Chains A and B, each alone.
Chain A
Amino acid sequence: MMAQLRKLRSEPWIWSFVAAIGVWLVTITYTGGQGAGEILTAALSFATFSIIVGLGQMMVITTGPGNVDLSIPATITLSGVVAMKVMDTNSDLLLLGIAAALGVSFMVGVFNYALIRLLRIPPIIATLSASFLVLSTAIYLGHGIRIKPPVPLDNFATSRILGIPLAAMLVLVLSIVLAVVIKRTIYGRAVVAIGQNPRAAWLAGFNVDQTRFITYVLSALLSGVCGILLSGFSGGAALNMGEEFLLASIAVVVIGGTSVAGGRASVPGIWGAALFMYLLVTMLNTFGASAGVRLIMTGLIIITVIILAAEKNQAR
């Protein structure tokens, strides 16, 4: 038992859950136990979206220093716009819409990696420049009125079973699959190996180019999934729907214990961090904090978590 506890304590992701539970406990103590369940349900609903894009960003960041995907917000928006446009509120076109949205997301991933590999542009600038083009495409396509999502998509994105959102269950399955991929497949091992030392990974026979290509495409596809679900959840696509996920995707990865220097990924950490981020905002709202105070506290807590995480790593 003690040994298990000690092992658990050495996991980098455990702290994001400790923080999330701590914040939740403080909140319900303040409200006298009122709304404890509802707060968790809401947290799961909203965290779902950060988790999806966080998983993609995690894979990208794990491939090593300098790798980051800044095109996530634009891809979310483009995917949402394309999905709503193709579906055009018609449930018969649901699958076609999903296919089209994932199709354009795939293209974004390919374009990103083409810039990085063929033109040798640093990933930060490459995905940033690509995101400008992607956003323009979304603006161009998204003219006119807001198109409502078809009923089945709306239902799927907003319904709950025993207080657990359906979308969260889908993302749980996705997370488990990804965790297995990282631990058990050649691709997953390659991502981690490249993040630790690209040259050693290359000498060991891993296909570095192919692995990085798949990773950028995967991140774009996950942004696409997020865009579709988010449009279903919020009653249609909007041109600013992706904005908040630039910071959120990076923050959940880092708070979740994934190494910023690459080579170490943590799927559970993404969940803990996403829940923590949402519960933190809920707590500050419950306390009646103003927008400014909320922002300051969010920033300071992110920094505190990073300092604590770094201390633990150095101690090991």
Chain B
Amino acid sequence: MSKSLLRSLLPFMSLAIVLGATFYVQPRTMSYFGLNLMLQYAVPIALATIAQMFIITVNDLDLSIGPFVGLVGCISATLLYTNPLLGILALLLCIAAYAAMGALIHRRNLPAIVVTLGLSFVWLGIAVLILPSPGGKAPEWLKAIMSVQLPYIPFPIVAAVVIGIAVHLALMLSSYGVIARGAGGNPKAMERAGWSMLKTKATMYAIAGFFGVLSGLSLLGLTTSADAHVADRYTLYSIAGVILGGGEFIGGRVSPLGAVVGALTLALAGSFLIFLNINPDWQIGAQGAILIIVLALKSLVVFWEQRR
């Protein structure tokens, strides 16, 4: 088996191992209902991870995606519920804000980490203004979508596969996707070849914003009421998901399918640790340990690759 194939299979193998371990510890999860329950929160995490992936593709890092997902939830639980038209307008404005953020970062040559750090305060502030304390109501259609029961295969799995394949087709196989990844690989070369890096960055940020909105909507569909802080952890989850899925921080090397699988692994690891019945004190720590083990495996494979 070729080493690069091994490397691209690694995220899937990690998922298989965590899934196998979960089934072993708690055989009852090996059912339609069990999988549905365990993986339902994987959908918003996967969408946030895809959003982060688009930013990482152009060599930036988004530290504001968590609060942004929270903000989308707050808008959708209030404005979208009471006045759908205004709500949709507000969400489109959110996506436009992301595009503007990308343009600003490129135009002024600013460090993305810091700009997005500042914006994370802004998103959180707006969310708190809209919804000072947890509450609001999810629109009925949103709840209906997120609790849909498909025959044979649980909805979260179908959703994850569809998201992964759709983004894979768009980013890895389309000609525009090649330009976008080239922007991360060698922005100067792409600029010389006549592609506007400003447009590319703004577009990538807009797409990230779009997936951030989807993530917030799907999360609200599950929680049914909103809270400005509900997704604060998503920033870290999304970065970890992209890296678990085989993405690199620089060079435009990302994998949409891997990112979705990475997000599923993270979501599943949480359930697995609960089933293991370990001391709750060590829950977070064990999640850190799983991250470290998977990444150590990845380094090992890369090491083999280079030695050859």
Contacts and interface: CB of A to CB of B under 8 A. Distances in A.
A254 interface: yes
B285 A136 contact: yes
A254 B111 contact: yes
Contact of B284 (A126, A132, A143): A132
- Of A66, A132, A139, A298, chain B has the most CB atoms within 10 Å of the CB of A132
A217 interface: no
A292 B126 contact: yes
A128 B249 CA distance: 15
Contacts of B114: 250-251, 254, 260, 302-303, 306
Interface string B108-122: 111101110111111
A18 B124 CA distance: 27
Q: Provide the main secondary structure of the chain B interface.
A: helix
B167 interface: no
B132 A119 contact: no
Interface stretch (A6-14, A82-90, A155-163, A307-315): A307-315
- Of A129, A247, A294, A297, chain B has the most CB atoms within 10 Å of the CB of A129
B285 A132 contact: yes
Contacts of B120: 247, 299
B276 interface: no
Interface residues on A, range: 35 or more
A247 B108 CA distance: 22
Contacts of B281: 136, 139-140, 143
Interface residues of B, number: 46
A133 interface: yes
Interface string A121-165: 110111011111101110110010000000000000000000000
Contacts of A129: 240, 288-289, 291-292, 295
- Of B110, B128, B285, chain A has the most CB atoms within 10 Å of the CB of B285
A184 interface: no
Interface in B268-308: 279, 281-289, 291-292, 295-296, 299, 302-303
Nearest to B286: A136
A261 B111 contact: yes
A135 B129 contact: no
Contact of B292 (A121, A124, A299, A303): A121
Nearest to B236: A128
A301 B61 CA distance: 20
Contacts of B214: none
Given A120-B299, A136-B288, A247-B120, 16 more contacts: A119-B296, A121-B295, A121-B296, A125-B291, A132-B288, A133-B285, A140-B281, A250-B113, A290-B129, A292-B125, A295-B125, A296-B126, A296-B129, A302-B117, A306-B111, A307-B110
7 contacts: A122-B249, A128-B239, A129-B289, A250-B113, A251-B114, A296-B122, A306-B111
